[in-house]
Chains A and B, each alone.
Chain A
Amino acid sequence: MQTATQLEHEVNYLDYKGKYKGIFAWIFSTDHKRIALLYMYSMLTMFVVGVVLGLAMKLELIAPGKTIMDPGTYNAVFTVHGVIMIFMIVIPGLPAVFGNFMLPIMIGAKDVAFPKINLLSWYFYVLGAVLVIASVLFGNGAPDTGWTFYAPYSFKTGTNLLPAIFGAFVLGFSSILTGLNFIVTIHRMRAPGMTWFKMPLFPWSLYGTAWIQLLATPVVGITLVLVALERIFNIGVFDPALGGDPILYQHLFWIYSHPAVYVMILPAMGAISEIIPTFSQKHIFGYRAIIVSTLAIAFVGYFVWGHHMFTSGMSGTAQYTFSILTFIVAIPSAIKVFNWISTMHKGSINPEAPFLWAVTFIFVFMIGGFSGLVLGALATNVHVHDTAFVVAHFHFIVFGGVGFAFFGAIHYWFPKMFGRMYDKVWAKVGWAFFTVGFLTLYSPMFYLGMMGMPRRYYDYLPEFHAGNILSSLGSWVMTFGLLIVVINLFRSAKNGAIAEINPWNSKTLEWTVPSPPPLENYDEIPVYGEKDGPYEY
């Protein structure tokens, strides 16, 4: 395998001067690395909004009764928090940032297959974000339906829902274009000699993700269009007063939105599968098992949507079927956990920040996964349905899963992306505060949910007070940790020590190009020989 060190004299992608100047050099750039950073900064902006809304909710819940907002505002806050966090942060999350940046480099390509469409997908992302923000700022109040836009309330409520629905639709389109681009890139642009089973696991996870994005998103797209048309024209399809069936909306919505959970988690698992072998300095255990389980999750994930609707009214047969399929989809996730643990076994472990984030990922992901089985079992589901238990479960899985993996990934690839190393001590301090805060914030919700505290209310009974105080305290600790992490990364991007080409001694291709990489990554496309592989330590 060739190394590309001869490229070091070339100007890197951050300093590259193209046709356009200033900000236009970024927003008109079709370079996958610049687009990745565009995504990252726009996501960070939206993430700040989402976090502030989350903090506001936790502050409202610190005491029973009205604390800082009335019930209507609370409804709007959890709706906008959900829409932003789901559609703008965790769904695009790892694919749009690290997928865009690393996928071409990791498979030995100069860019993605369709660089212009890649840029277009970012424009759609911004348009979608602007539409959702517009729904908050203008019209008769912010959307208050919850991020799921359930019928019939979504076309009966007087709030400004249309921009939010169109925003979600446009964001879906952005997601489809990214997925399409990645599939074609992986099919057509792998380096010579890099066969399917020599491809690193992060690109593999992006491949599975891309298929879900492609196959599931159009269904929610049309469903959202139908809700919008229902609002404007009264077409009747989801309106019981006109013969329509609101439950049909839930089915169509979850046919997409359950696979979307795997759009969130698969790339996160992919990033973890890169970090664990690097910091254990050991070949990944069960390379093929991880690939097969990725594809199995992507496939079985299509057939479990009904478990969101156990109490909506469906036949017993359907309930049993969805329940057993939900249990089955947990198996491939467990396989991955075993593989990661086995990779660490007898490895030479280097507990740097990325590794700490990755190990914590496994921990919170397992708690989230097991609580998911509690929800997938029919009897317990009825007991904890629509309680704080569900909120705890999906924050452990979605925020714990994607969040921890994202921070692991950024600490892992940061030296490659910016050519500088962050302050390793502050990185670990930030991780410690974040983790303690995270567990304090969400763990009490399991208990509160079991005791019967419903979700989505601004108020609760006095007996739930203690748990809620603990949870609100956790939200502050977690945000403090988050601030340390973000500030540390921002400062280090400017002033950090210059990073080596391969500071972690990793074996994947992205560590053979200079840091930061030059415009077209490789002077000469690398060639994989018979004995080369992504994890040959």
Chain B
Amino acid sequence: MEHVAQHSDPHYDQEASKLGMWLFIFTELLLFGGLFIVYAIYRFLNPEAFQMAGHELNITIGAINTIILLVSSMTIAMSTSALQKKNIGLTVLLLEITIILALIFLINKYFEWGVKFDHGIWPGSEHLLNDMAHGEVLFFGLYFVMTGLHALHIVIGMIIIIVALNKVQKGTVHADRPSLLENAGLYWHLVDLIWIFLFPLFYLIH
């Protein structure tokens, strides 16, 4: 049928894709917003315990991960510019760097969580339930939930970037049709932004 052929280009609306992505980002912010409210309330109720528990976290690893994410945000932003300049090779390279940086972030996270587990700290662990104050239980509960959910978003973001990377290589995402890559970038900046709030809330406030 003739409609099938029509279905691709006349229906492409870059503004609409971007608007849709921004709305989706809005929902993600609200999702984490719920957690930030819970955090704020329990921090207000248990200031000392939160302070004590915060000392358990390793600021160095947190800072390194922050830098990694900031750099990855930069590389994905550069990849969009490279696509606009029709430099496919550079676009692909920058996206690959972004993915590798995301992977390094996750590896750091793995070791960071591993150290906590070695110290007997995980949600519902005996050490946590028997030896620690309620505020500390809540701190670590929220720490694992929020950084865990954030790590899940890193994984989702990586999948989106890999899809975008594939389509750039295939040529279906190009300078005149960049929505998917731009949306991947927007999503990645969101993931970055959430970390920017998580890092001081858990690691830095003492």
Q: Is the CB–CB distance between B16 and A188 below 8 Å? A: yes
Contacts of B42 in A (CB 8 A): 237, 243-244
- A117 vs B21: C-alpha distance when bound (angstroms): 12
Q: Is the CB–CB distance between B129 and A234 below 8 Å? A: yes
**Given A113-B20, A188-B15, A234-B124, is A242 in contact with B129 using a C-beta cutoff of 8 Å?**
yes
Contacts of A468 in B (CB 8 A): none
Nearest CB on A from B95, distance (A):
23
Q: Which of A117, A217, A233, A520 has the most CB of B within 10 A?
A: A233
**Given A180-B20, A218-B28, A519-B3, is A236 in contact with B141 using a C-beta cutoff of 8 Å?**
yes
Answer yes or no: A250 CB below 8 A from chain B CBs: no
Contact residues of B: prevailing secondary structure:
helix
Q: Is the CB–CB distance between A176 and B27 below 8 Å? A: yes
Question: Chain A: which residue is nearest B32 at the CB level?
Answer: A222
What string of 1s and 0s marks CB contacts (under 8 Å) between B123-163 and chain A? 11000010001110110011011000100000000000000
Q: Which of B20, B42, B149 has the most CB of A within 10 A?
A: B20
- A237 vs B41: C-alpha distance when bound (angstroms): 11
**Given A214-B26, A242-B134, is A252 in contact with B15 using a C-beta cutoff of 8 Å?**
no
Contacts of A243 in B (CB 8 A): 42, 46, 133-135, 137-138
- A243 vs B135: C-alpha distance when bound (angstroms): 7
**Given A184-B19, A188-B16, A243-B134, is A252 in contact with B34 using a C-beta cutoff of 8 Å?**
yes
Instruction: Report how many residues on chain A are interfacial, defined by Cβ distance under 8 Å.
Output: 39
Question: Chain B: which residue is nearest A243 at the CB level?
Answer: B134
Question: Chain A: which residue is nearest B6 at the CB level?
Answer: A520
Q: Is the CB–CB distance between B123 and A234 below 8 Å? A: yes
Answer yes or no: A439 CB below 8 A from chain B CBs: no
- A214 vs B33: C-alpha distance when bound (angstroms): 14
**Given A180-B24, A226-B145, is A219 in contact with B38 using a C-beta cutoff of 8 Å?**
no
Residues in B22-49 with C-beta less than 8 Å from chain A:
23-24, 26-28, 30-35, 37-38, 41-42, 46
Answer yes or no: B118 CB below 8 A from chain A CBs: no
Contacts of B28 in A (CB 8 A): 218
What string of 1s and 0s marks CB contacts (under 8 Å) between B1-20 and chain A? 10110100001010110011
What string of 1s and 0s marks CB contacts (under 8 Å) between A16-35 and chain B? 00110000000000000000
Instruction: A221-B31, A222-B35, A243-B46 are known; give 19 further A-B pairs, CB within 8 A.
Output: A110-B11, A113-B13, A114-B16, A114-B20, A187-B16, A187-B19, A188-B13, A219-B30, A219-B34, A223-B34, A226-B38, A229-B145, A233-B122, A233-B144, A234-B123, A235-B142, A237-B142, A242-B138, A242-B141
By a beta-carbon cutoff of 8 Å, the part of chain A in contact with chain B is 18-19, 110-111, 113-114, 117, 176, 180-181, 183-184, 187-189, 214-215, 217-219, 221-223, 225-226, 229, 233-237, 242-245, 248, 252, 519-520
15 A-B contact pairs sorted by A residue (CB < 8 Å): A110-B11, A111-B11, A114-B20, A183-B19, A188-B19, A214-B27, A218-B27, A218-B30, A219-B33, A221-B34, A222-B32, A226-B38, A233-B123, A236-B138, A237-B145
